[in-house]
Amino acid sequence: MRMAASTMREGAAARLACSLLLLAAAATVSGHGVQPLSRIAIHLARVALDPSAAVWASPGLLGSQGEDTAWVTVGFVYPNPSDGDWIGVFSPSEFNASTCPGSHGSGPGPMICSAPIKYQLANYSSDYGKSGKGALKFLLINQRQDFSFGLFTGGLSNPKLIAVSNKIAFANPKAPVYPRLAQGKSWNEMTVTWTSGYDINEAYPFVEWGMKWNPPVRTAAGTVTFDRDSICGEPACTVGWRDPGFIHTAFLTDLWPNKEYYYKIGHLMQDGNVVWGKLNSFKAPPFPGQKSLQRVVIFGDMGKAERDGSNEYSNYQPGSLITTDTLVKDLDNIDIVFHIGDISYANGYLSQWDQFTQQVEGITSRVPYMIASGNHERDWPNSGSFYNGTDSGGECGVVAETMYYTPTENRANYWYSTDYGMFRFCVADSEHDWREGTEQYKFIENCLATVDRKKQPWLIFIAHRVLGYSSGFFYAQTGFEEPMGRESLQKLWQKYRVDMAFYGHVHNYERTCPIYEEQCVSSEKSHYSGTMNGTIHVVVGGGGSHLSNFSAQAPAWSVYREMDYGFVKLTAFNYSSLLYEYKRSSDGKVYDSFTVHREYKDVLACVKDSCPPTTPGA
C-alpha cells in the first residue's frame, strides 16, 4: 500500500509557505552557508539564449547494460569566455519557470526555480579561457529522470543562461537502485530499503532472498513517498525540491543467526516481467547474547562528495569519499555500521539524498547501516524539533526518516534500541528533548535498564550532539558539552554502567577517560579491567565534513584528541574482552586504542551512585 511519510506536515500551510518563499527568493539568496548548491542564486537567473553559445552532452543513452552510474562528456563553446561561466546539470531536463509552484498568475516570478543537481566551473577545462571552447566530464547516477546541461555566465550570484544541451537519460530511469540494509525491531529481522520510479499502481516491489543452495522466497515491500507539502520550508520546498520517487522497504524475518543470505530487489510489472536490481548478500545478526566475533563501526557527520570534482565539495565535505572508500575496502571485517547524524548534508537540496545513497551503496547493500538524527536532518523552526535552527534546510526530518529505515516506535521520534549479539545500543535523538520527565528520557532509561549484562555486557549510548564531553572550540564556550546534556543523563549512565557514549556534531575525534561528574575515575589509558566506574565518552564526528578546531588547552579528562577524518571500530571477542580502535580514514590505520577486560561481577560491584540491588539467599 502506498502511504504518506509519517511526519507529513499540514498541507495547506506548507503550500502557502512554499509559494511565498518562492517569490521572496527572487530578492534574497538562501543563506544556508556552505552547502555548495546554496551559493547559486537560481531565482535571479535570467534566460538569454545566445546563438553563438552551445553546449552538448554524450552519450545520449546511459546504463544500457543496467549500470546505475555513467560518465558523460559535456562540450561547450562561447566566444566571450569569463571566469564566472559554469555548467549546471539539471534533472528533470525541463527546468524553466513552468516547474515553479505558485508561478502561474502571480506576476513574472523567477525564470528558473529548480537548482541544478551539480555544477562545474567552465574554466575547469584548461583551454576554455583562451579559446572559448571546453569539455568537462560529469559522473551521473540514475535518479529517475532525464538530464540536460545549461551553460551560464555571470557567476553563481548573477547567473544568465545562454545555452541548453540535448537531453540524455538512463535506459531505465525508474530502475530499483541503492539498497540499504538496517536491523528490524527484532534481532532476527533485516530490512531492505531502496528507491525506484515505480509506484505500486505500475509495479509490485519485492525482495527475492534466501540462503545459498536453498530455494529463494519473495517478500513484498511497502512503498512510501512524500511531496512538497510534507516538508517545512525553503530551500527544500522551493529551489531544492526534487521528486523523491518511491521508497520501498521489505522485512526479511526469521533469519538464522550469523548465516549468509543472498537477496535481490525487484519489481513485478503488470505484464508479468520483473525489473531486477543487483544481486547482493548479507550476514544475519547474531542473537542477543550470542558469543561470536562482532565488529561495529561508528562515525558521524560524513556527508557526500563528488567523484567528478563537481560542486566544490572539496571545501565542504573533503573527507567523505575517503571514509566511504576505506570502509568499503575493509567491509569483510565489519558487521554493522552506525552513522550517528548529519547524514548527507543535503540541507534542503533533495537531489543530494539520491547521490548520498549511491555513494554509500557499497556499504549499505552488505551490512546494516543504522542512522541517528542530527541537526542537518531535523532542525527547523516551529516543526517540533528541540532546536529552532534552520540546519535541515526545511527538510525537518521528513526526508531522512523516509529514505532510511530505523526500528523506532514513532518515525518522527528518532530514538530506538537495537541489539547485536553481545552489544546493546541505545540510540538517542538529540534533536528532541532528552531531559528528565520527557518521553525520550523514559526511553533512554528503559533501554539501559532492560539489558541483561550477563549476556550482553557491552552497553553503548549514542547521540548526535555531544551530551557528554567535548573540548571542541564551540563547546569550550558552553562547559564542554551541549547545554543541559550530561546534567540530565549522567546519573543514568552511571546507574546502569554504560561502557561508552558516542557523539558526532563536532568534526574531530576525542576520547575521554572513564568519567563521572567531570572527574576521571581511572588514570589508565590503554587497558581497563576490573570494576566498572564511569563512562568513556567519544566524539567521532570526523566522518567527512569540514574539520572543527579544539580549545587551546586540553581538559584533564581528554585522553586523546585529533583533528582528522576517521571512525571508531569496536571488536567484541566474548563476554569479557573488547578492543577499541580509532582509525584514520586516510590510511585505515589505528591511531588510538584500548582494551577492556572484565567479568560479570565487575559490572555488579557497587560504585558511587550505582549499586545494583541484591536478593537475599533462600
Residue entry with cell 537502485: 177
Packing angle between helix 351-359 and helix 320-329, nearest 10 degrees?
Answer: 30
Cα dihedral across residues 528, 531, 534, 540: positive or negative: positive
Q: What is the mean pLDDT of residues 384-393?
A: 92
Give the pLDDT of residue 28.
33
Helix (H, G, I), strand (E, B) or coil at 482: coil
Q: What is the pLDDT of residues 303-341, one digit of tens each?
A: 999 999 898 766 788 899 999 999 999 999 999 999 999
Q: Which CATH architecture group holds 174-238+248-285?
A: Sandwich (2.60)
CA distance linking residue 239 with residue 352, whole number of Å: 13
> Is residue 11's pLDDT more than 80?
no
Give the pLDDT of residue 311.
84
CA distance linking residue 599 with residue 529, whole number of Å: 9
Give the pLDDT of residue 108.
59
Q: What is the pLDDT of residues 241-276, one digit of tens each?
A: 999 999 999 999 999 999 999 999 999 999 999 999
Q: What is the mean pLDDT of residues 272-296?
A: 97
Per-chain mean pLDDT for the chain: 91
Q: Which fold has domain 42-170?
A: Immunoglobulin-like (2.60.40)
CA distance linking residue 589 with residue 583, whole number of Å: 5
> Is residue 41's pLDDT more than 60?
yes
Give the pLDDT of residue 316.
80
CA distance linking residue 116 with residue 529, whole number of Å: 55
Give the pLDDT of residue 614.
57
Of 184, 180, 183, the C-alpha closest to 192 is 180
Please determine whether the domains at 42-170 and 293-604 fall in the same fold group of CATH. no
pLDDT band of residue 483 (cuts 50, 70, 90) is confident
Helix (H, G, I), strand (E, B) or coil at 312: helix
Give the pLDDT of residue 8.
39
65 contacts: CB under 8 Å, gap ≥ 6: none
Q: How far apart are the first and last CA of the chain?
A: 56
Residue entry with cell 532476527: 188
Q: What is the pLDDT of residues 408-451, one digit of tens each?
A: 998 889 999 999 999 999 999 999 999 999 999 999 999 999 99
Residue spans per domain, the chain: 42-170, 174-238+248-285, 293-604
Q: Helices in 263-350 by DSSP H: which ranges? A: 320-329
Q: What is the pLDDT of residues 334-364, one digit of tens each?
A: 999 999 999 999 999 999 999 999 999 999 9
Distances (CA, A) of 3 to 398, 466, 612: 13, 35, 46
Phi then psi dihedrals of residue 130, to 5 deg: -95, -45
The 10 Å Cβ neighbour count of residue 484 is 15
Helix (H, G, I), strand (E, B) or coil at 135: strand
Q: What is the mean pLDDT of residues 479-495?
A: 92
Rounded to whole angstroms, the maximal C-alpha distance in the chain is 96
Give the pLDDT of residue 26.
32
Q: What is the pLDDT of residues 85-102, one digit of tens each?
A: 999 999 999 887 655 664
416 with 407: CB under 8 angstroms? yes
Give the pLDDT of residue 6.
40
Q: 335: exposed, middle or buried (C-beta count within 10 Å: 0-12, 13-18, 19+)?
A: buried
Give the pLDDT of residue 312.
75
> Is residue 39's pLDDT more than 60?
yes
> Is residue 103's pLDDT more than 90?
no
Beta bridge partner(s), residue 420: 423
Give the pLDDT of residue 484.
87
Give the pLDDT of residue 35.
87
Q: What is the pLDDT of residues 581-604, one digit of tens each?
A: 999 999 999 999 999 999 999 999
CATH number 3.40.50.300 is the correct assignment for the domain at 293-604: no
| Set of cell numbers at residue 362 | 557499497
| Set of cell numbers at residue 2 | 502506498
